[in-house]
């Protein structure tokens, strides 16, 4: 249990390495990434060259073999300076999870090395315009046809669409049986019938593309089925258990970045002849901001440890960590804007960007309301 409260030497080394990379390579680009809304290929290359896009993939498939806690630390440190950039490894893991959960050994050996190297980015396609919080109601279909499957439908809110060359897609192979009729597939951007559609103009994480993707008689070979037919929804729910806590890590990073900037600002900024930080009201705000962020961080780290141990209560802990961290990130970044006053409301300072970025952590990979449903069902025996 001591690992929950004191990072190992290996974990500290990962954190320090990513922190240095983030401060040197990513932080100077953060404002520009937000302003232009362009995907930061240079950041992607920096993460790939340091083995971070394959941190979650076992070494036997070309990855770095890091555990869940190491992955959470990485995302937290990147998000501390640039939330848009932190989406890159987060989605790389999310898109990989169905392969991890259900793919054959042959499929893993064929697909994972290029994902681990960063040659291929992989997105995760589950949501649809009318199937967000209720993914079992998806309408995208995959029909068996000879030696392949033909996919038809549209997915919405797909993170990294357009930048990614691979897509883990959930589709109905049996449309009339709900969740039990959902299967998982690997689709390549080069497949005929696949296209990237509308790009959303978002409040935050502007450097991470979010688009619709279309499947118009998109034919793929049968060996792109991940696992067995009808098991896709199971893989999807298991994937969320492992990645919701990583969204929590992203939220903690955003919150800590806002605290770091605001604390430095109130020491430098003077009003009434003394530093703003010398006023008790300001000190109390910062004290609450840091306390809540550390509480959220401990939930995230505890959930990560549970993921690595395979604990039976991971579902609840992962949901709790995302719930707490997302709410904290929104509250803390809003307070950071307040501490900077009028300056906080301008793009000359990063806290307004952090406030906009924080909001998504309360929405994607299950809204905060869905997290409460998950937690309550776990507590009440899934009534």
List active site positions.
365
Q: How far is CA 64 from CA 36, 55, 72, 252, 354, in A?
A: 32, 5, 14, 24, 30
The CA distance from 79 to 26, in Å, is: 10
Overall residue count recorded for the chain in this entry: 383
Closest CA to 204 of 86, 89, 295, 93: 86
**Contact present, 227 and 101 (Cβ < 8 Å):** yes
Q: What does the angle CA 307 – CA 124 – CA 228 come to, to the nearest 5 degrees?
A: 75
**Contact present, 316 and 375 (Cβ < 8 Å):** yes
The CA distance from 193 to 31, in Å, is: 36
Q: Is 187 exposed, middle or buried (0-12, 13-18, 19+ CB in 10 A)?
A: buried
């Amino acid at each position: 249990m001591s690992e929950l409260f004191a990072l190992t030497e290996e974990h500290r080394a990962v954190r320090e390495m990513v922190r240095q990379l983030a401060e040197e390579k990513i932080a100077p680009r953060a404002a520009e990434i937000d302003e232009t809304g362009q995907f930061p290929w240079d950041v992607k290359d920096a993460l790939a060259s340091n083995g971070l896009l394959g941190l979650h993939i076992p070494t036997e498939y070309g990855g770095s073999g890091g555990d869940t806690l190491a992955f959470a630390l990485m995302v937290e440190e990147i998000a501390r300076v640039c939330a848009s950039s932190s989406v890159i490894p987060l989605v790389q893991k999310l898109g990989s999870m169905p392969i991890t959960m259900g793919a054959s050994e042959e499929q893993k050996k064929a697909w994972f090395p290029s994902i681990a190297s960063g040659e291929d980015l992989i997105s995760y396609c589950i949501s649809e315009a009318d199937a967000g919080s209720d993914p079992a109601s998806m309408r995208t279909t995959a029909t068996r046809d000879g030696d392949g499957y033909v996919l038809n439908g549209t997915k919405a809110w797909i993170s990294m669409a357009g930048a990614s060359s691979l897509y883990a897609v959930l589709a109905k192979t049996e449309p009339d049986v709900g969740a039990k009729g959902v299967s998982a597939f690997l689709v390549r951007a080069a497949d005929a019938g696949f296209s990237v559609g509308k790009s959303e103009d978002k409040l935050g994480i502007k450097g991470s593309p979010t688009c619709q993707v279309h499947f118009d008689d998109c034919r793929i070979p049968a060996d792109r089925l991940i696992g067995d037919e009808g098991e896709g929804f199971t893989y999807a729910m298991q994937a969320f258990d492992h990645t919701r806590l990583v969204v929590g890590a992203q939220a903690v990073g955003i919150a800590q970045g806002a605290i770091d900037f605001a604390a430095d600002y109130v020491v430098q900024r003077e009003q009434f002849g003394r530093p703003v930080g010398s006023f008790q009201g300001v000190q109390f705000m910062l004290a609450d901001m840091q306390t809540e962020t550390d509480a959220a961080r401990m939930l995230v780290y505890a959930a990560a440890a549970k993921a690595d141990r395979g604990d039976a209560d991971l579902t609840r802990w992962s949901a709790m960590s995302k719930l707490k961290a997302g709410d904290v990130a929104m509250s803390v970044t809003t307070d950071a804007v307040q501490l900077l006053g009028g300056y906080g409301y301008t793009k000359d300072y990063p806290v307004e960007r952090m406030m906009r970025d924080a909001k998504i952590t309360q929405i994607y990979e299950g809204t905060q309301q869905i997290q409460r449903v998950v937690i309550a069902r776990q507590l009440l025996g899934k009534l």
